[in-house]
Amino acid sequence: MLGRASLNALIARGHSVVALPRAELDLLDPAAVTVAVERELPDVVLNCAAWTDVDGAEADEDGAMRLNDQAAAVLAAAADAVGASIVHPSSDYVFDGRKPEPYVETDLPAPLSAYGRSKLAGETSVSVANERHLIVRSSWLFGSGGPNFVETMLRIGSEEQEAIVANDQIGLPTYTPHLAGGIAELIEAEQTGIFHVAASGPCSWYDFAQEIFDQAGLECRVMAGTTSMLARPAPRPPYSVLGTKHRGVPVLPHWREGLASYLFEREGSEAHGGEAAA
């Protein structure tokens, strides 16, 4: 999702972009990574590949680490070797969610899940491998090009009369084109370090689901559940709202605006018989 959105955002802003999908570059192959970076000699490398299956990582933490940590480090080192900076998206799940107010970049991470540990390990490895690093933490991503919560709710809303959704997790649902635009701004400003960039307007998954059904015009009753009731394999931070201590960080639109844009994009895609073009 973020790779597609970033490609569109960067091209729209006049950048020359080489996009390498998984079929053309396996990040788990260090030699292939080195060859690709040396061939293209980029100014900036943006890593939009990641293990994103939060629950699946509980059963295969080594697999999550290989992609989110080790492969990310190899890519960062390859970028460093040709004088390029590395941009590495990360996650709100590096925090335990026990802070009663938004997390800023200087707050101490304490991941609860295997996925969160793999993302935090990747942050550390990338920063060590390339001093010209830009680590961008965001949260609850949704957009074209991959499975996401909105699609899950739309499927349930079209098949069922009610849905049970957690109301004890609070975060910031972030539309990937909005995040991609924010990342592009940080790249252009030649920022380095860790930055929090996410949508405006904290909400629960329950709130988000209700708004999805309202905007999509689906008659589906949303019932509030608890995280423990839903019994997911991976623990989730109860409050993972991201704030920032930096000045000049891109302010993204409210998640409701992102949702409206996504549903409009999705409707246009369906009208043309398939996914929107990358």
Q: What are the catalytic residues?
A: 115
- Contact between residue 137 and residue 194 where contact means Cβ atoms under 8 Å apart: yes
CA 253 to CA 71: how far, in whole Å?
32
Would you state the structure tokens that stand for residue 135, as one six-digit string?
């680590």
Contacts of 266 (CB under 8 A, 6+ apart): 144, 276
Candidates 275, 168, 153, 157; CA nearest to 232 is 168
Would you state the structure tokens that stand for residue 264, as one six-digit string?
């409009």
Q: Quick one: DSSP state of residue 87?
A: E
- Contact between residue 202 and residue 170 where contact means Cβ atoms under 8 Å apart: yes
CA 82 to CA 43: how far, in whole Å?
8
Main-chain dihedrals φ then ψ at residue 236, nearest 5 degrees: -115, 145
Contacts of 270 (CB under 8 A, 6+ apart): none
Amino acid occupying residue 171? G
Taking each helix axis from N to C end, the angle separating 176-188 and 2-12, rounded to the nearest 10 degrees, works out to 50
Candidates 125, 51, 133; CA nearest to 87 is 133
Taking each helix axis from N to C end, the angle separating 149-159 and 255-271, rounded to the nearest 10 degrees, works out to 70
